[in-house]
Amino acid sequence: MFKQLGLFALLILPLALIGVMTPAYAQKKVGIEIRNVSKNDAQAKKGLNDPGRLVPVKFQFICNGADAGKFSNLEAVLETVNSDGARSRVTKRIADGTSNTLREESIDLPLPDGVFARDFKLTLRGKFRLGNAANLIELSEVKTGSFP
């Protein structure tokens, strides 16, 4: 009887460890990766209510996760330091999407005429749901840099 109990324990222990490690592995694998951030001053449009212009800032990102996962409540926050020393901040809500899909979005950055965005900090925040799970995993990614 003790031999059967020992064999049973040897079979159950690895399975129990796999069950404990799976959520931690899934959380490490899930994330947001910002691939590219660029602005195009030549495509700027006149501002609607303010004097100045709206400069399109495009960014590419991918939400890495399990195949059955879905990202929701995505928000992009772009903060810049401008050529006149002032700071700008703009926020945009991004449509929900599935994981492992490269996406491209654009934010219109309001700037006064003759002022250019120099340095940037782009923050993407959102939540991830694995399949039909009740738990949401909060995610965030930050990319900083300078515009040419």
Cα 37 to Cα 47: distance, rounded to the nearest angstrom: 22
With beta carbons less than 8 A apart as the criterion, state whether 27 and 139 touch: no
Distances (CA, A) of 147 to 10, 13, 53, 78: 58, 54, 17, 13
Per-residue pLDDT of the chain (148 residues; tens, 9 = 90+): 555 655 555 555 555 554 544 454 444 478 899 999 999 999 999 977 778 999 999 999 998 876 678 888 999 999 999 999 999 999 999 999 888 889 999 999 999 999 999 999 999 999 988 877 788 889 999 999 999 8
Cα 3 to Cα 46: distance, rounded to the nearest angstrom: 81
pTM score, two decimals? 0.77
